[in-house]
Structure 1
């Protein structure tokens, strides 16, 4: 079970957001790391099929699915959890869950707080509560691929930790778009791609990125005045 972008280019009008990006995600956790404007969200959307490629390919389990529409990728087991509008705001929490599975006990086991929110309309929930609902729907779907954009945004540290544990335990290919590397990933093997301005500037294990960042912080700054 693998999913990848191969030399992918994406344009928004005259602007190119991805410049020949190659990313390969295997079962387990893969993190697309970068600041706003780095291209991480666009890469996630390209994998999902919600933005078209101007060049390159999307390959899923060795099959080119570049021209397969987003709804068909979803039918095949791909679940996208976007940063915004990830739930049906006019429906209740219960109705949101029932759209995915009539029996939703697993969602309440994952996020017990949702039980008391079942009669509430999803649009009235806090940002963190909406993320819990969106991710619980993804868990109920028993996906083969999960693409989640900033999955723990608005969550408390304890709930965020729980969320990463749930995602790491899935028997699926899980790709996360994050601004910073979550500390808990030090406890789980994770492949990291760091993007800047639409290009990959680092690829490797999370531990390797941390060592590289620590070494950069310890290195003397160029042009610093030598000690006497």
Structure 2
């Protein structure tokens, strides 16, 4: 089993602190979801796990080893794969060339997303947002990574393709951590671990079912006071 965690992690962008002592732990094989609106710190938490942003405090621990000072490329070499929300494909290269950069055979990619086969000669920068996400995700599916981090995996996808994407991610023999704004419908009622962040602080941790039950009791509209 693989485990990766942030322990009391703090991240600063200049004078602003984006994470205020965040502690999260993800276990694999399995799926962990970091929830939050834009500015909540979920993307920063992913980047901190990947080593693409430095901690100003706290630690990143991977299988019991402190890797806080290990640079991003070394974490990648050890089996960590990050799929960012933006600039996740090489727009000037064709779909085929993008696939060839990450695998000697792209059968896995085409099995996962058959639609890519008719797009092989297209430049990646001309694809729709959902098609680019499919192409970006093939890297995670074919990498045989121990830890897979994905920011908004289903962005721009149809509900059917989004459900397929989560089935693929859930089936990986890896510790998978995704960042989303809300719990994906396909995960409702399933044993996924959820952390909700707000303004750089964890405000909930537990199973997806617990989170759904909790949010169902929240007020849906503004309240008034005399």
* TM-score grouping bracket, smaller chain normalisation: over 0.9
Matched, 1:216 2:218: yes
Distance 1:218 1:48, change over 3 A: closer
Query: What is the root-mean-square deviation of aligned Cα atoms in Å?
Result: 1.6
8 A contact 1:168–1:188 mirrored in 2: no
CA displacement at 1:185 relative to structure 2? 0.6
CA displacement at 1:102 relative to structure 2? 1.1
Deviations 1:35-69 (A, max 9, x none): 00000000000000000000000000000000000
CA displacement at 1:216 relative to structure 2? 2.3
CA displacement at 1:217 relative to structure 2? 4.0
**What SS is found at the alignment partner of 2:8?**
strand
**What SS is found at the alignment partner of 1:2?**
strand
CA displacement at 1:223 relative to structure 2? 4.9
The one of 113, 123, 126 aligned to 2:125: 123
Name which one, 1 or 2, has greater alpha-carbon Rg: 1
CA displacement at 1:218 relative to structure 2? 8.4
**What SS is found at the alignment partner of 1:166?**
helix
Q: How does 1:48-197 map to 2 (within 5 A)?
A: 48-197=50-199
The count of corresponding residues between Structure 1 and Structure 2 is: 224
Tell me which residue corresponds to 2:18: 17
Distance 2:64 2:101 in 1: 31
Matched, 1:26 2:20: no
CA displacement at 1:70 relative to structure 2? 0.2
8 A contact 1:77–1:143 mirrored in 2: yes
- TM norm structure 1: 0.95
Distance 1:120 1:47, change over 3 A: same
Distance 2:124 2:219 in 1: 43
Distance 2:216 2:209 in 1: 11
8 A contact 1:128–1:153 mirrored in 2: yes
Q: Which runs of 5+ in 2 are unaligned?
A: none
8 A contact 2:189–2:209 mirrored in 1: no
Tell me which residue corresponds to 1:5: 6
Distance 1:207 1:65 in 2: 32
8 A contact 2:83–2:137 mirrored in 1: yes
Q: Which runs of 5+ in 1 are unaligned?
A: none
- TM norm structure 2: 0.96
